[in-house]
Amino acid sequence: MPLPPPPPPPPPPHQPLFLPKPIILPDLLLAVLSVSGLFVGPKNPHPHATPRSHSLCYPPPTNRRFLRPTTTTINNNTAVSQNLDFNRAHNFPTPQSLSDWLKPRLPSDSLSTWGIKPGTKNVHNLWLELADGETSLADTTPPVRNLEVLSIRVIGKNNRVLIESYQELSDRSIRKRGRPLSEKLKTGEDIETAIKRAIREELGSILYQINGSAKDGDFDKMVRIVPNSYEKRVEQRLSLSYPGLPACYVMHIVDAFVDGLPEGEFVTEEETEYGDSDDRIASEAVTVRKHFWKWVSADSESIC
């Protein structure tokens, strides 16, 4: 009898089928867009647009509580916030504390020349500038003195401009100037207010003498700002007042007419440079006693 056929072999074990995870298109696009957003900034809708000039009739107010950075790009918010945080944290209680902080950060022996070298100011002056909100210091090595300066081109007859040729200081030294009337702006001071204050402080003595005006005279009638003459720029240079200390100046430049000034050279006296400051500290500062003025041609190279 024949043998029965062998049973069929058992089927191979079932192999599970592994499929790659499906790619969800929206998720992928979102990931790509998120990464690309790190490298591609928003486009300027007007790539060739130039900053709008400010009319002198409406000059922008300045707020010294927000410091200007120490580069010509004055919209560097990082530099502003760093300087602001630094000045909040460092309140120098005395000129000596400021001197101690400056000494290791300035070139060797430069601080010792302040107030000694003719035409320079001393650490008391810088302390008063900080206390009055006229100046701020960037926490760098060396530190950078940041300030806003108003420059007034006083226009006279025959296309001439008034220039301060030099100053006589309280230590009897002479400080060369060769520039239009200039004054540091105070915290929160708008341009038009600063113009009248600067003219009152530096030219007031001669105006009162010639015009017989009381000190509360109507400066609105004596001072006329030239419309649309406002200009703003940033300058960086070493400070002549404080050797070894770099400075960043935000310059606000305007033209103005001032009635009642002499047509030739003249001298004015500054009554008090630090009238609202600590008298004890102000007495140690180097102050301006006299301003010496002259008229030059508006095209003169001596105007800076």
Which pLDDT score is estimated for 270?
84
Q: What tokens were used for 159?
A: 């296309």
**Left, alpha or beta for 262 (phi > 0: left; psi -120 to 50: alpha)?**
beta
DSSP per-residue letters across the chain: -PPPPPPPPPPPPPPPPP-PPPP-HHHHHHHHHHHHHHH-PPPPSSTT--PPPPPTTSPPP--TTSPPPSSS-TT-HHHHHHHHHHHHH----SHHHHHHHHGGGSPTTTGGGTTTSTT---HHHHHHHHHTTSEEEESSSS-EEEEEEEEEEEB-GGGEEEEEEEEEETTS-EEEEEESEEEEPPTT--HHHHHHHHHHHHHHHHHHHHH---TT--HHHHEEEPTT--EEEEEEEE-SSSTT-EEEEEEEEEEEEETT--SS-EEEE-S-SSTTS-HHHHTTS--EEEEEEEEEETT-TT--
Q: How far apart are the first and last CA of the chain?
A: 129
pLDDT tens over the chain, length 304 residues: 556 666 666 655 544 444 344 444 444 344 434 434 433 344 443 333 333 333 333 333 333 332 233 333 333 333 433 454 455 445 799 999 999 999 999 998 899 999 999 999 999 999 999 998 899 999 999 999 999 999 999 999 988 999 999 999 999 999 999 999 999 998 889 999 999 899 989 998 898 887 765 555 566 788 999 999 999 999 999 999 999 999 999 999 999 999 989 999 999 998 766 766 678 898 999 999 999 999 999 887 556 5
